[in-house]
Structure 1
Amino acid sequence: MEAFDIPALHALCIELSIPGPAAEACLAQAASAQAAPLLRHIPALLDASRAEAAMRELQAKCAPLSPNGLLELAVLLSAALEARKHYAARGVPDDVYLATMGCFSRFLNETHRWTGRWQFDRGFWVWRQLCGRLLRLGTLEFEALPLPAELAGPLGAAAGAPALSVHIPGDAMCMPETLHASYARRADFFARDGALPLTYCRTWLLSPRVKELLPPGSGIRNFMEDYTLADWDPDDNSGRLWLFGAPGIPDAALPERTSLQRGAKELLLQGKPLGSGLGLLKL
């Protein structure tokens, strides 16, 4: 690809519900003279063995040209146009492609909600979607990868064994039926010789401290019930951002819009991080 296909990019922005101000700025960046040479990174972004390194190289080149990340976004959406062909060649339906690439609008909206600015800051993550290593199947995402060595012992499996890491998008609906529909769909894409890889999740949503704050039947409790806790990290506080969406705000000023936020804020004010859990899927 030697130049951005602006009409195709515009059409994809509409399909993916990219917010208007971000889409306009992204397309303007794509039309600039400095943008076209960056397209040479696209083949590597679509190759699972090279995508992560290609993403780092692209970010390094885009950062001084576009601090808000929207030039980077233009390249990544161009890669998503090419990825659509790769998905189809693998037999991945277009609805799964669109759901997976929906991460772009979700990330833009999340960051705007947190900061009040239209910027793209998740390039470190979306190479997974572009190369097809991660798919959204219903309400959940599944990332195919060799089991990391540090998780092998707690999960009782060999390091490097085929595994699926479960991710919970910010707009996930955690009713039992929607969760189980996602797990059931795994077999369509990840079963090998009739067997599914070990499926696990490492997240603040599996923290025992968080569980104590939740009533039975809540969405997060529904999610927890499908996992056997294999290990947990009481010092991990990564869930703070996802629960409160308030980077840089002192704990005492955190919002209290829900009972979970109120309980979590009380923990933080006591000097206790939310923690995170490592769970093995029971189903």
Structure 2
Amino acid sequence: MKVMDRIVFYQKLGFLPEDMEQLAISRQRLLLQEVNGYIDDMTQAETAERAYQGLREQLEKYMKKQQLAGISAAQAKYESCYDMLYCQLESARHVYEKYQVMGIGEKIFFDTMKCFPRFMDECQAQKGIRYFDRGWWTYRQTSMRLFRIGVLEYEMAEANREEVSGSEVRYGHETGQRRYSTTVRLHIPSDADLSPAAVDASIQEAVLFFRKYYPRYGHAEYTCHSWLLAPALKRLLREDSRILAFQRRFDIGEVDEGSCSYLQWIFQASEDVPLIDLPEQTSLQRTAKNYLLAGGRIGDAYGIMRIASGINNAVD
């Protein structure tokens, strides 16, 4: 099958013209024979993480060469982020063929791969510069390990012995009684509609998706590790909050009050921003900021989705 045209692909994902210009420069700058192997391997679930690490090391060598040639460290780092973006987009462009062979629709493909410009938008909102810094994450998308289905993302994972043992202790299950050997991890994109109807539709579509295309995950356990599950949010939000409605779908287990991941998602801020300087543009920002200034902690939590939340309601 024919690989999708590069420019058409960028346009369908919604990249800005300046992004596409930088990507074209990266294509000219890169020694493609040195990165093509990494690009191919990032389309395979078994090799994607290792390929990303190898590519990152290769691009770091490029950065050092550029600095030796007189380019500033900041400029070299900026160019390198587009080099990584270019390579991962090439992986995504080639994995489109696998979607076609498997019969997975274009909507899921493009919804999944739109994470790339979305992450750049998030970085710009937080740091004031359009930058790609999520290569450590997006090899999951390029290797068909993670899909966006409706409003949520779903990542296939194995429930290894350590995870099973830890979860059995954490959630009070007796040894040997856990039914799952595979796990689907839920992730919540920053632009997700968390209305109950949208979440229900996403979960039910995902269950059918995995039963059809990845039968080993057709009856997997669904888990989530997120600031959205933090129990402290019950003190900050109204009972009818969409976030709390989402949270109630899970049996909450381990809570990490020390995690600061919520800062990025609530405030679009990094951990080094003083609490007093956090923005107050939304009601949640104002409430959370006051709570933090008073000594409160938000953190994040891990939860297992309850069966009644839509997993077994899907129709085969």
TM-score over 0.5 (shorter chain): yes
Q: Shift of residue 36 of structure 1?
A: 4.7
Q: Which residue of 1 aligns with 2:69?
A: none
Amino acid aligned to 1:280: I
- Residues 46 and 158 of structure 1: CA distance in aligned 2, closer, same or farther (over 3 Å): farther
2:167 alignment partner in structure 1 = 152
> How far does residue 27 in structure 1 lie from its aligned partner after superposition?
1.4
From the two aligned structures, give the one with the greater helix fraction.
2
Does the alignment pair 1:161 with 2:181? yes
Aligned residue type for 1:185: E
Which residue of structure 2 aligns with residue 76 of structure 1?
A: 88
Does the alignment pair 1:120 with 2:132?
Answer: yes
CA displacement at 1:141 relative to structure 2: 0.3
* 2:190 is aligned with 1:170: yes
Question: Displacement of 1:160 after TM fit?
Answer: 8.2
Mapped to 2, the partners of 1:274 and 1:161 lie a distance apart of: 31
Map 1:20-169; keep pairs closer than 5 Å. Answer: 20-32=17-29, 34-63=31-60, 64-65=62-63, 66-68=76-78, 69-147=81-159, 149-150=162-163, 152-153=167-168, 154-155=170-171, 156=173, 161-169=181-189
Task: Give the C-alpha shift of residue 56 in structure 1.
Answer: 1.2
Tell me which residue corresponds to 1:241. Answer: 264
| Shift in CA distance, 114/159, structure 1 to aligned 2, threshold 3 Å | farther
Judge which range, 200-209 or 55-64, deviates more.
55-64
1:55–1:127 Cα contact (<8 Å) kept: yes
SS of alignment partner, residue 31 of structure 1 = helix
Q: Kindly state the Cα deviation for residue 234 of structure 1 after the two structures are TM-superposed.
A: 1.9
Maintained 8 Å contact 1:62/1:72: yes
**Contact (CA 8 Å) 2:252, 2:301: kept in 1 or not?**
yes
Q: Distance in 2 between matches of 1:194 and 1:169?
A: 21
Q: Using the TM superposition, give the Cα deviation of residue 277 of structure 1 relative to its aligned residue in structure 2, in angstroms.
A: 1.5
Which residue does the alignment assign to 2:14?
17
Question: Counterpart of 2:294 in structure 1: which amino acid?
Answer: Q
| Alpha-carbon separation, structure 1, partners of 2:218 and 2:144 | 20
Larger deviation, residues 116-125 vs 143-152: 143-152
The higher radius of gyration belongs to 2
Q: What CA distance in whole angstroms lies between the structure 1 residues aligned with 2:218 and 2:122?
A: 36
After alignment, is 47-56 or 265-274 more displaced?
265-274
Matched, 1:213 2:232: no
After TM superposition, give the deviation of residue 159 of structure 1 in Å: 11
Note the alpha carbon deviations across 1:157-176, whole angstroms, 9 max, x for none: 75982000000000000001
**Alpha carbons of structure 1 residues 33 and 256: separation in structure 2 relative to 1, 3 Å:** closer
Is 1:232 aligned with 2:255?
Answer: yes
Partner Cα separation in structure 2 for residue 158 and residue 47 of structure 1: 29
For residues 126 and 255 of structure 2, the distance between their equivalents in structure 1, rounded to whole angstroms, comes to 28
Identity %: 28
Name the SS of the counterpart of 2:29 in structure 1: coil
Q: How many residues align?
A: 278
Output the aligned Cα RMSD: 2.2
- Distance across 2 between alignment mates of 1:111 and 1:122: 9
Equivalent in the alignment of 2:303 = 279
Give the AA of the match of 1:275. Answer: G
Q: TM-score, normalised by structure 2?
A: 0.82
User: Could you say which residue in structure 2 is the equivalent of 1:186?
Assistant: 206
For the residues of structure 2 that align with 1:267 and 1:56, how far apart are their CA atoms?
39
Q: Tell me if the contact between 2:126 and 2:264 (Cα under 8 Å) persists in the aligned partners.
A: no
SS in 2 for 1:67: helix
SS at match of 2:5: helix
Q: Distance in 1 between matches of 2:247 and 2:106?
A: 30
| Cα displacement (A) at 1:147 | 2.3
Uncovered stretches (5+) of structure 2, i.e. residues with no partner: 64-75, 310-316
Structure 1 gaps of 5+ residues are none
2-side partners of 1:28 and 1:98: how far apart?
Answer: 24
Task: Give TM-score scaled by structure 1 length.
Answer: 0.91
